[in-house]
Amino acid sequence: MMKFCCLIVITLCTICVSNGGILTEQCLALNGVCGRKGLTCEQIFGLGWIEKGICCNKKPCCGEESKVIPDINHSCGFETTEQCFFRQSSLDDFDWTRGSAGTPSDDTGPGSAAEGTYYMYVEASNNSPSTRAVLTTEATDLQACPWCLTFQYHMKGSATGTLEVSAGDKTSSLTSIWTKTGEQPNPESWKTATIDIPLYNNLGITIKASVKDWYTSDIAIDDINLKSGTCTNA
Ligand SMILES: [Ca+2]
Ligand SMILES: [Ca+2]
């Protein structure tokens, strides 16, 4: 029976390669595309997929037994004080503040939430230039697969600093993958960030706001969603 199964796999691999990686529901390629998302086996299941050069070796296969990418969605709108999957970091200079209906400073910050009533913001008035506040997923186990991160952000104020998203293996170091600096166009309105996060083992993601100058430097975020898969296919 095993020999019969292996023969089928090898045959399918041949078909896949000869067709330049046509997608099917089956797990086909040595390290070709797999499933409907157009991702390599390693992108979906991580290193080791082709450990012995054979498709499906020791890993869940993209067939009936497992899904191509598990359907996972983490979200956080800050409507309650329950812990979000993004939490306050202690490896920074100060914490984000949960707020609603404006920030204490005039001419900066949102007038209302992007979603619901509450959002998170950095209050620049109390914090010196170049200080930063970080939200991190460090305490959350995130599966090794590609993710699509979206959130709403608000950057209004003549001295607005920088909002930066970084991702990577949290046991080593993170890489900056998205940055906005300064007051944004049409600054009264919330904007949507849509960020593809590639596959990492031990994935960690941070959202960091840096204060550029004194009080007109508030930055707010709301409605964070992290969905498995790429943003194109999510
Ligand atoms: Ca909200
Ligand atoms: Ca902090």
* CATH code of the domain covering residue 126: 2.60.120.200
- pLDDT tier for residue 95 given thresholds of 50, 70 and 90: very high
Q: Which range marks the domain in which residue 220 is found?
A: 73-228
Does position 234 have pLDDT exceeding 60, yes or no? no
173 and 103 co-located in one domain: yes
What is the H or E stretch that residue 10 is in? helix 2-18
Mean per-residue pLDDT, 39-44: 62
34 and 99 co-located in one domain: no
Task: Name the residue with higher pLDDT: 71 or 189.
Answer: 189
Of the listed ligands, the closest to the CA of 94 is 2
Measured in degrees and rounded to the nearest 5, phi and psi for residue 18 equal -65, -20
- Domain contains 172: yes
Among 19, 40, 68, where does a domain finish?
68
Secondary structure of residue 21 in the 3-state scheme? coil
Of the listed ligands, the closest to the CA of 135 is 2
192 and 213 co-located in one domain: yes
Of the listed ligands, the closest to the CA of 207 is 2
- Say what the pLDDT of residue 198 is: 86
Q: Which residues contact 77 (CB under 8 A, 6 or more apart)?
A: 113, 115, 116, 118, 222, 223, 224
108 and 50 co-located in one domain: no
The answer to which of 61-75, 86-100, 140-154 has the lowest mean pLDDT is 61-75
CB under 5 Å of ion ligand 2: residues:
88-89, 92, 95
- Domain contains 78: yes
- The number of distinct structural domains making up the chain is 2
- Domain contains 193: yes
Distance from residue 171's CA to the centre of ligand 1 (Å): 30
- Domain contains 84: yes
198 and 94 co-located in one domain: yes
- Say what the pLDDT of residue 58 is: 40
- Domain contains 88: yes
- Mean pLDDT (the chain) is 75
Among 68, 86, 107, where does a domain finish?
68
- pLDDT tier for residue 13 given thresholds of 50, 70 and 90: very low
- Say what the pLDDT of residue 19 is: 26
The answer to which of 35-39, 50-54, 58-62, 157-161 has the lowest mean pLDDT is 50-54
Secondary structure of residue 4 in the 3-state scheme? helix
- Domain contains 233: no
- Domain contains 40: yes
